[in-house]
Structure 1
Amino acid sequence: MFERFTHDARLAVEQAQAVARRLGADHIGSEHVLLGSVAQGDAVARRALARAGVEPAALERAVRAQSTDTLDAEALAGLGIDLDAVREQVEATFGEGALDAPAPGGRRGHLPFDADAKKLLEVSLREAVRLKHRRIDTGHLLLAAARLDTAGSGRALRAAGVDRDAVERAVQAAWADAA
């Protein structure tokens, strides 16, 4: 399947590993592939999301927010501690993502893809076939990310304020602009 990926799509998959590491994950999830897809300045996915009014930083904030363990948040809330307020204060003091830094001496080598990330790659191929495209670019990755409603990528897109239909329109427009 990877032989059908454009250079940008391959870079997006490579970037997903770097994103997962930076966010302290022990695997590559669909949300990391999504962030990798918009990491390149002129990639179809980035242009499409810009058309939809979503900045990469907003998307990353949505991914970071969903990585907070809800059980921990509920337990702390029971003690009168607002985890979101704590995160905001720490980030105001130490910089955005300060709580997301991976622990020193973290996992080395390649991080494994989780089931949702594998599904995203599979669905990107299906999108290319559906659209009768010979190559898979970051637009196909973005379409697949939006189709995975219950995966991290779909949740992050919705949290950033964009739904599946808006993604489809934006990707089609980005492809039309490039033609």
Structure 2
Amino acid sequence: MIRRNGLDAQALEAIGIDLAAVRDKLEATFGPGVLDEPGPVRGRVGFGPAGKKVLELSLREAIRRKDDHIGDGHLLLALIREGGPAVDVLRWARIDPEALRDEVDAAL
């Protein structure tokens, strides 16, 4: 979860990532309150805990790569990093998640 206060926010701010700007961009793209608790928010459903976790991990992937944006490749890297149902689907389709991760990372 992206927090405005706490160690995560301080660590990100130390390397030049402004959480307020990240929140503003997410709200501009997905609507106000997107990072609030899940449930109806002005006629739509916000991100649940799993969605928030993937967004956080995609931000961490962008930071790891020293990228200045979060794109679809970062989201895919985050889904693979998290494991869970997305990786189960990849394995079901006989796709090696680690090999895919390496390919996506190289393509970015």
* Aligned residue type for 1:167: L
* Aligned residue type for 2:91: R
User: Quick one: structure 1 residues 160 and 111, their matched pair in 2 at CA, closer, same or farther if it must change by over 3 Å?
Assistant: farther
Which of the numbers 158, 168, 171 marks the counterpart of 2:91?
158
Q: Higher RCO, 1 or 2 (CA under 8 Å, sep at least 6)?
A: 1
If the length of structure 2 is used for normalisation, what is the TM-score?
0.55
Residue correspondence of structure 1 range 79-90 to structure 2 within 5 A: none
Q: What is the aligned-residue RMSD (CA, Å)?
A: 2.9
Q: Percent identity?
A: 39
State the Cα distance separating 1:110 from its structure 2 match: 1.5
Distance 2:94 2:25 in 1: 30
Residue correspondence of structure 1 range 139-150 to structure 2 within 5 A: 139-150=73-84
If the length of structure 1 is used for normalisation, what is the TM-score?
0.35
Is 1:170 aligned with 2:93? no
State the Cα distance separating 1:4 from its structure 2 match: 6.8
Which structure has greater helix proportion? 1
Aligned length: 76
Whichever of the two has the greater Rg, that structure is: 1
State the Cα distance separating 1:163 from its structure 2 match: 3.1
Gaps of 5+ in 1: 15-26, 28-107
State the Cα distance separating 1:2 from its structure 2 match: 5.2
State the Cα distance separating 1:134 from its structure 2 match: 1.3
